[in-house]
Structure 1
Amino acid sequence: MTVRRTTLAGTTWEFRGLVDLMAKATPLRSGDVLAGCAAGSAAERVAAQVVLADLPLTTFLSEQVVGYEEDDVTRLIMDTHDPVAFAPVAHLTVGGFRDWLLDRAAAGDEAAVTGLARGLTPEMVAAVSKLMRNADLVAVGRRARVVTGMRSTLGLPGTLASRLQPNHPTDDPAGVTASLLDGLLHGSGDAVVGINPATDSPAATTRLLHLLDDVISRYEIPTQSCVLAHVTTTLRVLEAGAPVDLVFQSVAGTQPANRGFGVTLELLAEAKAGAEALGRGTVGRNVTYFETGQGSALSADAHRGVDEMAVDQQTLECRAYGVARHFDPLLVNTVVGFIGPEYLYDGKQVVRAGLEDHFCGKLLGLPMGVDVCYTNHTDVDGDDTDALLLLLGAAGCSFVIAVPGSDDVMLHYQSLSFQDVLTARQVLGLRPAPEFEAWLRRTGLMDDAGHVLPLPADAPAARALLASAAP
């Protein structure tokens, strides 16, 4: 263990290894306090950030926060590191890397920022994010360009896509279809129509997949569907011939945490291959979708690193992105306020975490989205989610998640509404994915200026969809 020290204002601070340094340098959040790894004061946090700023980036290639021998996520990260992509910044410290990124962002140099992705480890990206203000995270995230596609193209400049989430507490087809219609009429759904099923059975998953596939194919909607069942369930319905567009799974940043989710890297590879074999894409072949969230490893008691020290939740979140990156996803999103106040206590922490997650995911080469959300026992409200949504739109976020009226009636949490997505697009001058926007215009649901229109009398496809939602 390398002990690192600094003296500030007459006080000497000592940090016991990389795990301790990273945790103490992290902006305050309740999860790290719960884990016992947070800085004990603002002064200690600043001292840790000073030490971290002087740390060479190459340190992260020789020291790990979670051991190589005992963790397959660490092995994946280290074994796939690209030294050629790393070369432009290999000589820098963490603080020097921050300055480099901000200089390239100010110059509008997207190629330089984006080109680093395969040369960066999640720990490097987590480290530099800890030295950044919120505005820095927005400025650099905006310059990291990640474009993916299946039936719609996501991540293009000037776009903000949305996942239309028509959840229903009993998976009732009429209820799902009504929410689906509501979202489509508001111009949502270009990233994916994604349902969290009330049950994880193959039969329920198959029914929902056929419902979504029927609507998408009947009305020739250029989007993709996903039923967010466990990957083992998706594999079963794939083998039975169900119309699977995207393979979904929640992933985390350590091998024990992924074990808690019931997944392995080998299982994810098998599912990806199965979905690719169906060849259902038209503009691209990205067929995986991953969700993450700060605090997931801690909640599973799977957050221990070198010498059994608690690793901070934001660094572990970035390691989850190292897992997702390996499988060339169409979509990745952090569910930023879903776990609860034990991990992100209030609006300030949720906004910070959302910007960190977006920045880190984009810098690592992921098509990063955010579920701007909170549970009802958290000290967060609609003003906080409004602020985060607009900041993410300015930062070039690939997509957000939207539900009818901001209230998910199945998962019992607050997310964004379809109207919120429209507001962000209008305020920031953003558009849907191009293929989806063209469909909206063909059906008479959007004008040439990008404004969503009331349902017109001469839009037969929209009228037919409305009729199909009737009980």
Structure 2
Amino acid sequence: MGFHADINATRYSFPSLKVLLAKASPERSGDHLAGVSADGPVERIAAQHCLADVPLAAFLGDVLEVDGDAVTELIAAQHDADAFSPIASLTVGEFRDWLLDPGTTGARIAGVSPGLTPEMAAAVSKIMRAQDLIAVAAKIEVVTRFRSTIGLKGRLSTRNQPNHPTDDSRGIALSALDGLMMGAGDAVIGVNPATDTLPDYIRICEVLEAIRTQLDIPTQHCCLGHVSTAIAAIEVGAPIDLVFQSVAGSQKANDGFGVTLAMLDEAHDAVRQLARAPEGANLMYFETGQGAALSAEAHHGMDQQTMEARAYAVARRYRPLLVNTVVGFIGPEYLADGKQIIRAGLEDHFCGKLLGLPMGVDVCYTNHSYADQEDMDILLTTLAAAGVNFVITVPGADDIMLNYQSLAFHDAQFIRETLGRPPAPEFVAWMQANGIGTPEITLPTLETALSRLRLPAG
């Protein structure tokens, strides 16, 4: 099976869907590194023309062309033929038009979502402009709940990320309170541990639990250690709200993370049995990022954006509370500059929402990337217009443990003031009850709150 397009009297041929998807991708350094990108803008346009004419039904086979891949098998098992039937006759280009049609509501998109494969989502994103990605994502509402309700239209939630280079309990608490005083943390208060030992994991959970319970905050917390550490901590009764894991779009890439679907199944069952959340609450948290499979040499010749969309099949198996792409974290080898990071962030958010996920974005870049905070301002603002469920915020936009640049607590406040995007309703009520957002909240108040907290030693 081959695909062909004629541009300026030149015939361009693409031998497979995998090659066509890669050649149609907007330019990014990771695809150049992998040797799968278009030779230039003309070949890219030719591939996009070809891709627009491909029937959606053509993506129901093994596009990855890898036997025995657990993620491929999961994608096939997830496909809902009944949900797919209203759009089964469409091509990729016609599907784009259907998504953009004013008569196609978010509810209609949600209705067909279980029938979409990640490759379909990736394919249609490749022939869409930035405004198309924003317009369609803004229609889609994916709501999840634990102690707060995340994803309601017109709201923006935040992860409060109080990382510390030595996992010091007081340092974590100080950073968390700094964010709370700025109204950050209604999605989750989540710490990336500097180590992944079981005692440190449990202590961090206890620190976050102390903050949450003593300040009576309607949110949830998470130590972002490995899923196997979470399972071990659950077995000894640690106060765990959410189980976290990074995931990718092939089993070989997930092997690099040391994770299988069976492990995720076990973790999901274990955290549900803790019964810390209301019945029916969402209990898992996943992170992804373009380039993860390529960096693990586990992309199987697929472009990095399509591989990223495939990771969402893993996430949606567990009805998670939160999913976010850490869009610029891996480095310029995969997303070279601010323009590529902005495009990738909009793609990831669009594809995640299209596949029914509660999608957030870590609006970020590494210090050796050709990007800066102005690029992050643009991505944050466009994502807010697209209805992103949540973003990640850290003190001063500088994560001193992971050594990368993200968003500051103040950046989320900027979006709330300029675009009118309040936090989750439960969190807003807590802020109002505690005077947060008023002139009375000052640094001495923060210091007093910290001094009164009873924290585990460490």
Q: TM-score, normalised by structure 1?
A: 0.94
Change (3 A) 1:284 1:431: farther
Distance, in Å, in 2 between the alignment partners of 1:280 and 1:143 is 32
> Is this contact kept in 1: 2:22–2:37, CA < 8 A?
yes
Q: Which amino acid aligns with 1:353?
A: A
2:151 is matched with 155
1:101 is matched with 99
Pick one of 311, 317, 320 that aligns with 1:320. Answer: 311
Q: 1:284 deviation in Å?
A: 4.8
1:13 aligned counterpart, secondary structure? strand
* Per-residue deviation, residues 199-240 of structure 1 (Å, max 9, x unmatched): 000000000100110111122101000000000000000001
Distance, in Å, in 2 between the alignment partners of 1:287 and 1:66 is 33
1:224 is matched with 220
Structure 1: which 5+ runs fail to align? 305-309, 446-451
Q: 1:7 deviation in Å?
A: 1.1
Distance, in Å, in 1 between the alignment partners of 2:167 and 2:257 is 23
Q: 1:464 deviation in Å?
A: 5.3
Is 1:468 aligned to 2:452, yes or no? yes
Distance, in Å, in 1 between the alignment partners of 2:245 and 2:357 is 15
> Is this contact kept in 2: 1:455–1:462, CA < 8 A?
no
1:126 is matched with 122
Distance, in Å, in 2 between the alignment partners of 1:25 and 1:84 is 29
Change (3 A) 1:108 1:86: closer
2:287 is matched with 291
1:91 aligned counterpart, secondary structure? coil
Q: 1:33 deviation in Å?
A: 0.2
Q: 1:108 deviation in Å?
A: 6.7
> Is this contact kept in 2: 1:3–1:15, CA < 8 A?
yes
Is 1:136 aligned to 2:132, yes or no? yes
Pick one of 383, 396, 399 that aligns with 1:392. Answer: 383
Q: Which amino acid aligns with 1:258?
A: N
> Is this contact kept in 1: 2:156–2:384, CA < 8 A?
yes
2:424 is matched with 433
Distance, in Å, in 2 between the alignment partners of 1:430 and 1:131 is 29
* Per-residue deviation, residues 234-287 of structure 1 (Å, max 9, x unmatched): 000000100010000000000100011000001001001100111111375100
Q: 1:62 deviation in Å?
A: 2.9
Q: TM-score, normalised by structure 2?
A: 0.97
Matches within 5 A, 1:444-459: 444-445=435-436, 452-456=437-441
Q: Which amino acid aligns with 1:165?
A: Q
* Per-residue deviation, residues 8-33 of structure 1 (Å, max 9, x unmatched): 11000010101100000000000000
Change (3 A) 1:461 1:78: farther
Q: Which amino acid aligns with 1:143?
A: K
1:42 is matched with 41
Pick one of 331, 337, 351 that aligns with 2:342. Answer: 351
Distance, in Å, in 1 between the alignment partners of 2:18 and 2:331 is 24
Is 1:30 aligned to 2:29, yes or no? yes
1:448 is matched with none
Q: Which runs of 4+ in 1 moved over 4 A?
A: 460-464
Greater Cα shift, 385-394 or 83-92: 83-92
Matches within 5 A, 1:291-310: 291-304=287-300, 310=301
Q: 1:116 deviation in Å?
A: 1.8
Matches within 5 A, 1:123-202: 123-202=119-198
Greater Cα shift, 317-326 or 84-93: 84-93
2:407 is matched with 416
Q: Which amino acid aligns with 1:84?
A: D
Distance, in Å, in 1 between the alignment partners of 2:380 and 2:280 is 27
Is 1:21 aligned to 2:39, yes or no? no
Pick one of 398, 401, 404 that aligns with 1:407. Answer: 398
1:55 is matched with 54
